[in-house]
Amino acid sequence: MIENLLQTVVGFVDTLFVSKIGLNEVTAVGVSNTILNVYIAIFLAIGVGTSSMIAKRVGAGKIEEARQIARQSTWLSIIAGLLFGIITLFFAEPLLRIMGAEPEVLSSGVVYFRIVAVPSIFISVMTVFGSILRSAGDTKTPMKVGIWINLVHIILDYVLIFGISGIPGLGIAGAALATVLVRIIGCFALYKYIRKSPLSFSLFKKDGNEFTKPLLKLSGPAAAERLIMRLGQVLYMGLIVRIGTEVYAAHTIAGNIEIFSYMPGYGLAIAATTLVGQYLGANRHRDAYQFGIYTSAVAVVFMGIAGVLLFVLAPIAAAWFTGEQGVIDMVTTALRIDAFAQPFLAVGLVLAGALQGAGDTKSPMYSTAIGMWLIRVIGVYVLGIQLDLGIAGIWLSIAIDLAIRAVFLFYRFRKTVGSMPEAVSE
């Protein structure tokens, strides 16, 4: 939770610094990161497969197999990072054009995107290294490394963007360079801690590739889930643009505020992946099921409190971003609807993680596909456009999606883990 919260704060600071250069640069970073998020979706999916497989081996006491999986998943992440780096090197400009970057944005965007994304290997490897440590039950080390590199990131960001003591700043290139440098530092720091852990492995030891295919089998649906989500967001955001510029602005502001409520859910989802995977690996099916349910309950409490805060503080938070009363009112409406959806969001996030820990990466993919492409897209069109409910229609669609997704994932978790022998005591 702490690691996710800090990363979110640093993202705000990064945007703030870049905004001092100019609006074109802000847009260039935003468009570049939209593409980069697709890359990261693939790297995170490899991390999901890694977490599930290692957690089960650790729970079963099969440490040598866990080390082999760690080694093979690292090589898989290296290959993926190099592949996306090569794509960026040769196709950075066409990709930004496809995203609709205007000519005045394109030149800055190409510079930023190439610097950040050509060395994608450091994003992919850092993601998998974090997953290796967390799946063994060590969530503190990635947090500590995250705290230090994010603090370094803020300092480097300022120095490289604006310059210091007569040394000229590099502008948007400096922002990109700061990001790459901290990722390199993060990779080496995490690997150093892995070498001190029970999962210590050498990259160059030859032990076969028997776990690569199962890794791809688990990671494939997780990658599809994230790509479905990203593409669905592009479509329904396009529908929101049709409703009106002010509605789009209000929706964006509400989303920026709401993201802080996600932090407990994301943190507890990682806990659920690790705990469920380890207990299933140890053949303690009842404990695995109970920890999944218990972690969901804790998330509901945390995010229920976040929902109360969203409801009460919505007008104040909206006023930080804009002085236009009409937009403030729309943001308030969105956040107050979202406040009631927080418990469903909590259950959905945690049980998706729990299912992934159990090796079921398909159910979260199905829930995302149905929720994003059917409920959200159709809901925005019907409620937001046809029934002219505007921002209320958009966020009602999101709330309905979250509620249905939570029910579906609870059913799948109970059927997948809860039906195992001695998993549930009546």
Residue 122: per-residue pLDDT: 93
The mean pLDDT of 308-314, rounded to a whole number, is 93
Can you state the angle between helices 23-59 and 2-19, rounded to 10 degrees? 160
Q: Which helix (H) or strand (E) holds 370?
A: none
Residue 99: per-residue pLDDT: 66
Residue 316: per-residue pLDDT: 92
CA 205 to chain centre: 31
The mean pLDDT of 222-236, rounded to a whole number, is 75
The mean pLDDT of 2-14, rounded to a whole number, is 68
* CB-facing half-sphere around the CA of 3: CA atoms within 13 A: 16
Chain position carrying tokens 């890359």: 39
Residue 78: per-residue pLDDT: 94
Name the residue ranges covered by the structural domains of the chain: 1-210, 219-426
CA 107 to chain centre: 28
| Contact by Cβ (8 Å): 46, 127 | yes
The alpha carbon torsion through 350, 356, 357, 360 (nearest 10 deg) reads 130
Residue 245: per-residue pLDDT: 67
The mean pLDDT of 23-29, rounded to a whole number, is 70
Residue 412: per-residue pLDDT: 94
* CB-facing half-sphere around the CA of 73: CA atoms within 13 A: 37
Q: Kindly state the tokens that stand for 139.
A: 């969530």
Residue 426: per-residue pLDDT: 38
Q: What is the pTM assigned to this prediction?
A: 0.72
Lowest pLDDT segment from 78-82, 113-117, 249-253, 376-380: 249-253
For residue 227, the SS3 value is helix
Q: Which amino acid is at 339?
A: A
Residue 424: per-residue pLDDT: 45
First to last CA, the chain: 33
User: What are the tens digits of pLDDT across the range 183-209?
Assistant: 899 999 999 999 988 888 888 777 767
Residue 423: per-residue pLDDT: 43
Residue 181: per-residue pLDDT: 92
Best CA proximity match to 230, nearest among 82, 48, 44, 13: 44
Q: Please, which pLDDT band fits residue 10 given cuts at 50, 70 and 90?
A: low
Q: Please, which pLDDT band fits residue 297 given cuts at 50, 70 and 90?
A: very high
User: What are the tens digits of pLDDT across the range 314-348?
Assistant: 999 888 777 788 888 998 999 999 999 999 999 99
User: What are the tens digits of pLDDT across the range 71-105?
Assistant: 999 999 999 999 999 999 999 888 888 766 677 77
Longest dimension (CA), the chain: 72
Q: Using the Cα atoms of residue 90, residue 96, residue 99 and residue 103 in order, give the sign of their dihedral.
A: negative
Q: Using the Cα atoms of residue 270, residue 271, residue 272 and residue 275 in order, give the sign of their dihedral.
A: positive
Percentage of the residues of the chain whose pLDDT score is greater than 70: 92
- Calpha distance 243→208 (Å, rounded): 55
User: What are the tens digits of pLDDT across the range 338-384?
Assistant: 999 999 999 999 999 899 888 888 888 889 888 888 888 889 889 98
Q: Please, which pLDDT band fits residue 244 given cuts at 50, 70 and 90?
A: confident
Chain position carrying tokens 């947090």: 143
Best CA proximity match to 158, nearest among 300, 33, 18: 18
- Calpha distance 250→391 (Å, rounded): 8
Q: Please, which pLDDT band fits residue 8 given cuts at 50, 70 and 90?
A: low
Give the residue with greater pLDDT, 71 vs 5.
71
- Calpha distance 234→115 (Å, rounded): 25
Residue 24 has pLDDT above 90, yes or no: no
User: What are the tens digits of pLDDT across the range 376-417?
Assistant: 888 988 998 889 888 999 999 999 999 999 999 999 999 988
Residue 152 has pLDDT above 50, yes or no: yes
Torsion angles phi and psi, residue 359, rounded to 5: 90, 5
The mean pLDDT of 28-45, rounded to a whole number, is 79
Residue 15 has pLDDT above 70, yes or no: no
| Contact by Cβ (8 Å): 164, 6 | no
Look over the chain and give the mean of its residue pLDDT values, rounded to a whole number: 84
Best CA proximity match to 336, nearest among 409, 250, 269: 250
Q: What's 415's DSSP letter?
A: I
Dihedral class, residue 324 (left if φ above 0, else alpha if ψ from -120 to 50, else beta)? beta
The mean pLDDT of 21-31, rounded to a whole number, is 71
| Contact by Cβ (8 Å): 57, 364 | no
Residue 101: per-residue pLDDT: 65
Residue 263: per-residue pLDDT: 81
**DSSP class per residue in 113-133:** HHHHHTTHHHHHHHHHHHHHH
Helices (H), 167-284: 172-195, 212-243, 245-281
The mean pLDDT of 142-166, rounded to a whole number, is 86
Q: Please, which pLDDT band fits residue 425 given cuts at 50, 70 and 90?
A: very low
- Calpha distance 171→108 (Å, rounded): 10
Percentage of the residues of the chain whose pLDDT score is greater than 90: 28
CA 173 to chain centre: 25
Q: Which amino acid is at 226?
A: R
Best CA proximity match to 236, nearest among 395, 393, 378: 378
Residue 58: per-residue pLDDT: 85
Residue 261 has pLDDT above 90, yes or no: no
